[in-house]
Amino acid sequence: MTVNVYLDVYFGFNFLMDMAVLYITGEIIKNSKNIIRTVAAAFLGSFYATELLVLNLHGLLIYLLTYIVVAQLMILIAFGYSDLKDNLTKLSGMYLSVLVLNGAINLLGINTKMCSAIFMAVIVCVMTKKIIRKIRNNMKISTAVKIINISYKDRKIKVKALVDTGNSLYEPFTKKPVSIIEKKEIRKWDFSDMKFIYIPFNSIGEKDGLLKAVIADSMEVDRNNIEKPIIGIFDGKLSRNGRYNMILHPDIINREKEHDSKLF
């Protein structure tokens, strides 16, 4: 059986795949991508692949040349020179990108259909970007300790709060996020006229529990004022080393970011 291969089509296909690999690599290693350098690196990779096809070259030496020398040259062209540690990170990112892209394409059995493969490459690039940025945002949020100002009637308190992505507690009727504070931090508040609400929750070792909570007047987070925040009261310590005394719901941070982005 004879298969006709058009070199211009083969070159173009490999060029687009190399562009996709470099794009995903840039997202993985968090490197700002320069379009001219990326195009130049993808051109080199595609030209090399086309030459291998024309010359019908195979073997261990060609394999090592492809995945060490040519891959290294593409990294240098696309992302610039770096020390050994960063360079290994970039190479690892490229190999991971190839695995992700090939895996997605082969999973659907479209490796012989150029248009479908290119379409899948675009989808993989978009999804990879969203997933990686989501992971990075969660990692930043999960380690963030912020200074929070809370007001209730004529009393104000300042507390250190951990933004915890594991906090998924919501008030069931209003669907508002619930943050949690140590009881000792609100000892200045007058409990005699305070109206409490109770938030159902599930946790390890305790099912169908109720958390006492109060609706404060306002809460200042990153210079943004949040009206009527719901704050659960925890009768104990939230941090063993006292690093924080409150757990802030991540939706509060995310909603403030969305609000700020709409202003611009």
- In tens, the pLDDT along 240-258 reads 888 889 988 888 876 554 4
Mean per-residue pLDDT, 225-231: 90
Which DSSP symbol is given to 203? Answer: E
The C-alpha atoms of residue 111 and residue 134 are separated, in whole angstroms, by 29
Count of C-beta atoms within a 10 Å radius of residue 147: 11
pLDDT in tens, 172-213: 888 899 999 998 888 878 777 778 889 888 765 556 688 889
* Per-residue pLDDT, 229: 92
* Per-residue pLDDT, 40: 92
Q: Which of 193, 166, 167 is nearest to 180 (CA)?
A: 167
Mean per-residue pLDDT, 10-18: 83
H runs (alpha helix) in the chain = 7-29, 35-55, 60-64, 71-79, 84-107, 114-142, 250-263
* Per-residue pLDDT, 21: 86
* Per-residue pLDDT, 115: 66
* Per-residue pLDDT, 8: 76
**Model-level pTM?**
0.48
Fold assignment, 143-263: Cathepsin D, subunit A; domain 1 (2.40.70)
Q: What is the dihedral of CA 256, 261, 263, 264, to 10 degrees?
A: 160
Q: Please say whether the beta carbons of 245 and 160 come within 8 A.
A: yes
Q: Please say whether the beta carbons of 144 and 163 come within 8 A.
A: yes
Q: Which of 99, 128, 26, 17 is nearest to 107 (CA)?
A: 99
- Is the pLDDT reported for residue 263 higher than 60? no
* Per-residue pLDDT, 260: 41
* Per-residue pLDDT, 113: 60
The region of weakest confidence among 114-118, 130-134, 153-157, 213-217 is: 114-118
Q: What residue segments make up the domains of the chain, in order of their start?
A: 7-141, 143-263
Question: CB under 8 Å to 33, separation ≥6 — which residues?
Answer: 22, 23, 26, 78
pLDDT level of residue 231 (50, 70, 90 thresholds) = very high
User: Which class for 137: exposed (0-12), middle (13-18), buried (19 or more C-beta within 10 A)?
Assistant: middle
**Residue tagged 């802030």 (tokens):** 248
Count of C-beta atoms within a 10 Å radius of residue 169: 22
Count of C-beta atoms within a 10 Å radius of residue 120: 20
- Is the pLDDT reported for residue 59 higher than 50? yes
How much of the chain exceeds pLDDT 90, in percent?
Answer: 8
Largest distance between two CA atoms of the chain: 89
The region of weakest confidence among 4-8, 23-27, 94-98 is: 4-8
Q: 183-206 in b/e burial notation, b at 16+ Cβ within 10 A?
A: eebbeebeeeeeeebebebeeeee
- For all residues of the chain together, what is the average pLDDT? 78
> Cα-flanking dihedrals φ and ψ of residue 133, to 5°?
-70, -35
* Per-residue pLDDT, 203: 65
* Per-residue pLDDT, 252: 80
* Per-residue pLDDT, 261: 37
